[in-house]
Structure formats: C-alpha cells, structure tokens
Structure 1
C-alpha cells in the first residue's frame, strides 16, 4: 500500500522544475534525434510575450503551450546567419500546468509532448513522425 501524498505541503512546479523536466525529456529522446537537435536552445517562461500572442492572433496566453522560434531545418537553415538569433524552443509553464489540470496525463508526458512537437517544427516533421519519437522516448 502506498502512502497518500501530503498535498498541503506541495507547491506548483516552478520554472526551475520545468527546466529539470525539459532536460529529462530531452535526455530521454532517441539518441539519433537528440544529436540532430544540435544547437536548439530550450527556454522556459511562465507565459508567451504579448507580441507572440498578437502575431499568432491568440486571445489568451493560456492558448499556447510551446513555441519554436527561428528558422527550421525544413526551411534550409543548417547554420545561423550572422546576426540571426539561435533557434529556440519555448515551453510555457502556466499554460502547461493549466492543460495538465484538465487532462489525465503526467506532467512529464505533457512536457515531453510539447518539447517533441516544437523541436519537430525545427525539422519539418509530420505529426506521425513526432508521435513515433514520443513513443520511443517512453
């Protein structure tokens, strides 16, 4: 028999916790895929910036769980041009926590899903390709 969790002492996972989850999710990806990601930087924030919401036509910051920013390999960006910002994947803590509260998935599984989906944009992968990578990550 497992002991119940004392929820009265627990706080919502913070930005550092999300970074730890994202690093663990990245480390669990298939080796070949992980090596291909190269210099993609993973960033964690509570919410997307207002200009991102405006650009995407979103009304609520809770509508976006993650975002790939940069020029993906599918668009011929094997290396960054001079002055070009590095490719980044953003994971947004508060929208992910909100999604988690409404679904029957672990937080780690959701972070992995968002990470794979956003990295998948970097490579121009299909949804089927991304699902296979997620399955291989466990």
Structure 2
C-alpha cells in the first residue's frame, strides 16, 4: 500500500483537479470537494461520493441551498495503488466519476463510457 499524509493527499487532489478539462469543471456551481480519510461506514470499498441534487433533477435552484458535496476518500484510494502515478490516475477517475453524477450521468452510462 502506498502512503501519503493528509496534507500531501489534499495537495495531490487539488493538482489533479486542476488538470481536468475546463468544460467539465466550469459548470460546478455551488459544489464543494472535501477530502476524508474514510467513508462513514469505515470501509475501503468506496473511493468517492457525490451528495446533492444532480443538475438534471433540479427544479428551482437559487440562493440559500447548501452546496453539493463531492467526498474523496484518502485511505480507500491509497489501499488500491502502489505509487503516486497510480494514485493520481485513480484520483482523476474518482473525480470524473463524481463530477459526472453532479451532471446527472448515472453509473450505467459512466460504465458504458469507460469510467464506471
């Protein structure tokens, strides 16, 4: 298992996020990305999670809504990689996957696109 402390992991996620295409991230309005060690259930099975209302499911949306949240889980990601290069790739896949959920793309469609 590759190891990386919380601060270095957060910096890596930020670096990877900055490499994502503009057309993917420019529409992320009222979305926060948080880094957590583990998902709520403590498992290593979940790499990331989108919590919110997908754009395709929103009706009235304006001021006052809490931000949608994309959680990136450090320990599960570290448990599946052997080096930083693999970690960067898995973080990228996880970010794209969760951002896709924000845009209303479900797991079946992600899978058909090669991201599932």
The answer to whether the superposition gives a TM-score over 0.5 is yes
Q: By percentage of residues, which structure has more helix?
A: 1
Could you tell me how far apart the structure 2 residues matched to 1:77 and 1:106 are?
39
Task: Please tell me whether the aligned partners of residues 71 and 77 of structure 1 are also in contact (alpha carbons under 8 angstroms).
Answer: no
Could you tell me how far apart the structure 2 residues matched to 1:65 and 1:77 are?
29
Greater Rg by CA: 1
Runs of 4+ in structure 1 over 4 Å off:
128-131
Query: Measured at CA, do residues 95 and 31 of structure 1 come closer, stay the same or move farther in structure 2, by a change above 3 Å?
Result: same
Structure 2 stretches lacking a partner, 5+ long: none
Q: 1:46 aligns with which of 37, 45, 48?
A: 37
Partner of 1:87: 68
Deviation at 1:80, TM superposition (A): 5.6
Could you tell me how far apart the structure 1 residues matched to 2:16 and 2:78 are?
16
Q: Is the partner of 1:16 in helix, strand or coil? A: helix
1:123 aligns with 2:91: no
Deviates more, 1:12-21 or 1:121-130: 121-130
Structure 1 stretches lacking a partner, 5+ long: 1-10, 54-59, 132-138
Task: Please tell me whether the aligned partners of residues 120 and 130 of structure 1 are also in contact (alpha carbons under 8 angstroms).
Answer: no
1:69 aligns with 2:51: yes
Query: Could you say what the CA RMSD is over the residues aligned between the two structures, in angstroms?
Result: 2.5
Deviation at 1:37, TM superposition (A): 1.5
Partner of 2:14: 23
Task: Please tell me whether the aligned partners of residues 116 and 130 of structure 1 are also in contact (alpha carbons under 8 angstroms).
Answer: no
> TM-score, normalising length from structure 1?
0.67
Could you tell me how far apart the structure 2 residues matched to 1:130 and 1:29 are?
16
